[in-house]
Structure 1
Amino acid sequence: MRKKIPITILLFIIMGISACLYLYKGHRDIESETADYVVTVNELEREFTSNDSLAYIKYQDKTIELSARVTSIDKAGNGIVMSEKVFVTFKNRLPQNIISGKSLKIKGRFLGYDELLQEFKIDQSSVVH
């Protein structure tokens, strides 16, 4: 009986440490990650139109690289809209060199598709040079 108590305590300590390590993982650095997918807005639209469930499984929380034209800039929201269909927020500040109407290549984390606004959402973005 006395041998079971220390073993049980040791198992609880190991389980507690494992749970803390799992729950409190370090933050991702999307800017330094390699993009899982390099896509266009048309490809995203096509995949979400044909089968949104599979598209969510494929892209959800993945790092993607996207090239498109900047259609509007939201300085207050620290973001931009690309091709009138992709809302992009930046990791830090909105880069100063972004110009509405010009093409831009960004890399960020794909969040999903907002059916109400008919817009794709990407956050933690950075400009790819």
Structure 2
Amino acid sequence: MIKKILLGISFSVAIASPIYLYTYKAHRDISLETVDYVVTISGLEREFTTNDSLAYVKYQDKTIELTATISAVDVASKGIVLGEKVFATFKDSLPKNITSGKKLKIKGRFLGYDELLGEFKMDQSSVAH
């Protein structure tokens, strides 16, 4: 009888452990990750215009880096617009000296393309070096 109870407990732990670890895995820190793709805004537009399905598979949830001119700054949402086509939000707060018209290289997680607004979305952005 004790063997059956121990076997049942062992089986339960063996099943529950992977489920728990998958559900509560650590959050990604994009600022520490290596860049998957270095892209340009025109390159993103070209790929999404050509075949958006393949572009989503390629870039979705990947760490990308791009350089562009800041078009707008939204302090309330901790976000910036780059090249009038990319909306990027920062994880904690906007870096100092962020102003419209300044060229900036950022790294962040690519979220997707908003067809309604006609802009690409990134989050967890940081200034790339």
TM normalised by structure 1 equals 0.94
Deviation sequence 1:73-114 (CA, Å, 0-9, x none): 111111000010000000110112112111100000000011
> What is the aligned length?
129
Residue 44 (structure 2) aligns with:
44
Aligned-partner Cα distance in 2 for 1:32–1:5: 45
Q: Do residues 109 (structure 1) and 109 (structure 2) align?
A: yes
User: Secondary structure, in 3 states, of the residue corresponding to 2:84?
Assistant: coil
Deviation at 1:4, TM superposition (A): 4.5
Deviation at 1:125, TM superposition (A): 0.3
Residue 29 (structure 1) aligns with:
29
- Any unmatched runs of 5+ in structure 1? none
Q: Percent identity?
A: 65
Report 1:1-129 matches (<5 A): 3-129=3-129
Deviation sequence 1:20-44 (CA, Å, 0-9, x none): 0011110111001110000000010
Aligned-partner Cα distance in 1 for 2:79–2:7: 53
- RMSD over aligned CA atoms reads 1.3
Aligned-partner Cα distance in 1 for 2:92–2:110: 17
- Any unmatched runs of 5+ in structure 2? none
User: Secondary structure, in 3 states, of the residue corresponding to 1:43?
Assistant: helix
Aligned-partner Cα distance in 1 for 2:8–2:54: 43
Deviation at 1:3, TM superposition (A): 4.2
TM normalised by structure 2 equals 0.94
